[in-house]
């Protein structure tokens, strides 16, 4: 993936600020065209969960839908049983 404009050097952005950062940290930061800093290194998840945010969102949504449907079926069954008891 290539960027349209080249990022500015970290030194030019950090020279005006009195921020103390290690050399490793400043080497891994790239300043985007809009001025926001971005880290160039990507660190893997450490939680042990290999699902993406997208997958976690849809898994949770699926759980909520199933729970809602289960509760609706339970209410419907209770209503049906109570109506039968009232008829007898």
In order along its 88 residues, the chain shows pLDDT tens digits of: 555 555 555 555 555 555 555 555 556 777 878 887 777 666 555 566 677 888 888 999 999 999 999 999 999 999 999 998 887 6
**Whether the Cβ atoms of residue 35 and residue 22 lie closer than 8 Å to each other:** no
In a domain, 71, yes or no: yes
Q: What is the pLDDT of residue 33?
A: 82
Q: What's the predicted TM-score (pTM) here?
A: 0.41
Q: Look up the domain containing 34 and give its range.
A: 10-87
| pLDDT value of residue 51 | 78
Is position 39 within any domain?
yes
Is the residue at 3 inside a domain? no
Task: Please indicate, yes or no, if residue 23 is contained in any of the structural domains.
Answer: yes
Query: Does residue 25 sit within a domain?
Result: yes
Number of domains in the chain: 1
**Phi, psi of 2, rounded to the nearest 5 degrees:** -105, 150
Domain-located, residue 5: no
């Amino acid at each position: 993936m290539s960027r349209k404009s080249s990022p500015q050097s970290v030194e030019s952005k950090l020279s005006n600020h009195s921020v103390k950062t290690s050399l490793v940290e400043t080497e891994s930061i790239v300043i985007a065209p809009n001025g926001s800093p971005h880290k160039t290194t990507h660190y893997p998840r450490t939680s042990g969960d290999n699902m993406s945010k997208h997958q976690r969102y849809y898994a949770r949504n699926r759980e909520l839908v199933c729970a809602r449907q289960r509760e609706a079926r339970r209410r419907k069954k209770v209503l049906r049983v109570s109506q039968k008891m009232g008829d007898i």
